[in-house]
Structure 1
Amino acid sequence: MDNGKIEAPFRKQLRLKGYNYSQAGYYFVTICTLHRREILGHAVGGDAHIAPSVLLSEIGAITEKYIKNIDSKYENVYVDKYAIMPNHIHMIIELKDGAMWASPPTNTIIPKIIRTLKTLVTKEAGTSIFQKSYYDHIIRDEADYFTKWNYIDTNPAKWADDEYCEAVPHPMK
């Protein structure tokens, strides 16, 4: 602020620069709730009688409805695996050949899918519930795919140790 102007805060670029996000392949995506509030559900089970899972809240059920709709809304796009956790969502999204309908030079199928999902959930929930951006990982090979698939599959069982788990639980809406 030497010249009297306020500098905009640096925002880390989360997308891989120059990568075509309409390219066929698998993408691991994580979307967090605003302030990582645990409003999508709460973890249950994990003892000798009940397998660990997440009991979805009303907002979590709305979110799941729109995740399940992605396959029918977008041609050649499939949600291969997903988990809705109390304060975040993990998905493996597959783009098949022929999913390249994003008009160049944007090539933004994955960002468009995530933006639409967040918009629809927010509109139906009646309040903003997601952070501005999301995290993605381009799955590079079969071993990487199975690592991400297993991570999603076992996420409810490992909730207490999850990097997104809050130390102090928040009441669900």
Structure 2
Amino acid sequence: MCPPCYHDRKSPRASFHDYQAGIYFVTICTKDKRHYFGKVQDGIMHLSPIGEFCQQQWEEVSSHYPYATVPLFVVMPNHVHAIVSINQETECAIQKTDREALATVIGGVKREVTMFARKRKIEFDWQSRYYDRIIRNMWEGNNIANYIENNVARWDSDEYYRKEP
């Protein structure tokens, strides 16, 4: 019996939502949760060169994708948390037919960081998928924002924490 094909996987997407507009909590991990982006020391995130570039890409999302804004994000040693807002009203978002607007933004950031690493011969790879959650109300959004803002301070107890050898 052959292993299940990629196309046979159950989609993690909500069937009731078209992912063209809304506000999302996104988590993207590095492959094997390796600490490519830097390290947390004394409650401060110290970014590596690839971590600095990753942070810059998140800061510039709106200049590359006018239909998207990122009001809050954090780059951690082995993952990124972000709140991504997609605005359906912009012409760019409305014209999207073949890919979800959110997936386009995430794919673009992942691609740029990967190309940065390859050009500089820095070992790096992303986990193939990412986690997203639709933020449904202000209460949920405030809890997620608090989680992101305190992620560095809570690093030792974070679910993505993993000591590097």
Amino acid of the structure 2 residue aligned with 1:19: H
Is 1:117 matched with 2:143? no
Distance 1:122 1:148, change over 3 A: same
Q: Where do 1:15-164 residues align within 5 Å?
A: 15-23=13-21, 25-45=22-42, 52-99=43-90, 100-104=93-97, 106=98, 108-126=100-118, 127-164=123-160
Fraction of identical pairs, as percent: 31
Q: Distance in 1 between matches of 2:110 and 2:47?
A: 17
> Which secondary structure does the structure 1 equivalent of 2:154 belong to?
helix
Aligned-pair Cα RMSD in Å? 1.7
Indicate if the aligned counterparts of 2:88 and 2:94 stay in contact, CA closer than 8 A: no
| Contact 1:40-1:84 within 8 A present in 2 as well | yes
Contact 2:37 2:75 in 1 (8 A): yes
Q: Deviations over 1:78-104 (max 9, x none)?
A: 101000000000000112341433433
The count of aligned residue pairs is 157
Normalized against structure 2, the TM-score is what? 0.87
1:57–1:30 CA distance, 2 compared to 1 (3 A): same
Distance in 2 between the 1:152 and 1:145 partners?
11
Label 1:42 to 1:60 Cα distance change in 2 as closer, same or farther (>3 A). Answer: same
| Counterpart residue identity of residue 157, structure 2 | D
CA distance in 2, matches of 1:97, 1:112: 14
More deviation, 62-71/94-103: 94-103
Q: 1:150 to 1:32 in 2, by over 3 A?
A: same
Q: TM-score, normalised by structure 1?
A: 0.83
- SS, match of residue 60 in structure 2: helix
Gaps in structure 1 of 5+ consecutive residues: 46-51
Q: CA deviation at 1:58?
A: 0.9
Amino acid paired to 1:44: Q
Q: Which runs of 5+ in 2 are unaligned?
A: none
Q: Is the 8 A contact 1:36 1:164 kept in 2?
A: yes
Q: In structure 1, what is the Cα distance between the partners aligned to 2:124 and 2:94?
A: 29
Larger Rg: 1
Give the counterpart letter for 1:155 in structure 2: N
